[in-house]
Homo-oligomer: A and B are copies of this chain.
């Protein structure tokens, strides 16, 4: 974790119920403002207003604007990592084809569950601290997927970490395209099938009985 990242930590742990509620309200408000007004106009005042409290209160929970945004982003990324980890756990020991569809379905569910929110957070992820959080999520996912791949009965991965990182980011690309609204018409309709096909093909290139692939 970078030196800066330390200052991005929430000021107080939400121990008491009120705090937890407040923080949740703040998160929701931040996302709404992000969606409605964009990153630049997502000011502390606006978020507080949306959350029905004063700026001062916001600063009771976060030392600064970036910390708030980082927290919101982190929550989202954690949700994504959780979903993928869970999927990985459930798919343990299954054949490649199942892994592929299971992972894709799990990933799409989290990402497309709140498309607006997901989209809005891309911008946040570019900013200060965003990279660290994204890397953290990557690491979790790659770890979980690596383990999963290693457990696949019908394939042999010489570098599961690499394969996982490529595989996951390869899924993330098209999803980003869709969420950012830069995709061609009808993209969403076929996306899941195509991603499954993509991932399946990629993973099966490592199938036992197919050679190293190269």
Contact = CB atoms under 8 A, between A and B. Distances in A.
A131 B190 contact: no
A198 B187 contact: no
A198 B142 contact: no
Nearest to A178: B169
- What DSSP secondary structure best describes chain A's contact surface? helix
Contact of A138 (B123, B167, B177): B177
Contacts of A17: none
A166 B174 contact: yes
Given A162-B190, A201-B205, 7 more contacts: A39-B127, A134-B182, A163-B194, A166-B198, A173-B173, A173-B176, A197-B205
23 contacts: A38-B128, A122-B126, A123-B126, A131-B180, A131-B181, A138-B182, A138-B183, A142-B184, A162-B184, A162-B186, A162-B190, A165-B184, A166-B191, A169-B173, A169-B177, A173-B173, A173-B174, A197-B205, A197-B214, A198-B202, A201-B201, A201-B202, A201-B205
